[in-house]
Amino acid sequence: MEKKVVEVKDWGLNPRQKKFCKLYASDEEFFGNGVQSYIESYKPKKIGNWYLTARSNASQLLTNTNVLGHINELLELQGLNDAFVDKQLEFLITQHADFKSKLGAVHEYNQLKRRVEAGGNKTLVLVVTGQSAKRYGQSGSS
């Protein structure tokens, strides 16, 4: 089986910024936690208001276009992309289990990818056709 070679864009980040991105986009304990990713990457001295400073610095990193670009690229390489999230959302919409936490994660992803405006209200319209329409008691024609 041939391995697929994926070219990663050079975002012009220093080694600490790259480590921050990798930790932030990983599926381990740091996933989505900017402060903890910052602390692990930069190892700040724990004096004074060090935690507040780490929180502020993590926030600054997460507004850096190159850092966000690299994080998005890492997420896409892991398979976390628009198509995957859309499939998950469709699954959640069509099942009747508790999905509050998953829907919250989809919302966060959409904000991260700027697919929705912060504070805005958007409605997802699911067009049902063919066999799916029959499941929902609708006719298959438009």
Question: Does residue 128 sit in the same domain as residue 99?
Answer: yes
More confident residue, 23 or 103: 23
Q: From CA 49, how far away is CA 118, in angstroms rounded?
A: 30
Q: Which pLDDT value is given to residue 56?
A: 96
How many domains are contained in the chain?
Answer: 2
Q: Residue 133's pLDDT band (boundaries 50, 70, 90)? A: very low
Q: From CA 36, how far away is CA 22, in angstroms rounded?
A: 12
- Residue 40 located in a structural domain: yes
- Residue 9 located in a structural domain: no
For residues 24-42, average pLDDT? 91
Q: Which pLDDT value is given to residue 135?
A: 47
pLDDT tens column, 44-92: 999 999 999 999 999 999 999 999 999 989 988 888 778 887 787 777 6
Q: Which pLDDT value is given to residue 34?
A: 93
- Residue 87 located in a structural domain: yes
Helix (H, G, I), strand (E, B) or coil at 38: helix
Q: Is the pLDDT of residue 95 over 80?
A: no
The chain-wide mean pLDDT, for the chain, equals: 78
Match 């089986």 to its residue by tokens.
1
Q: What residues make up the domain containing 100?
A: 82-135
Residues 6+ apart with CB under 8 A from 78: 25, 27
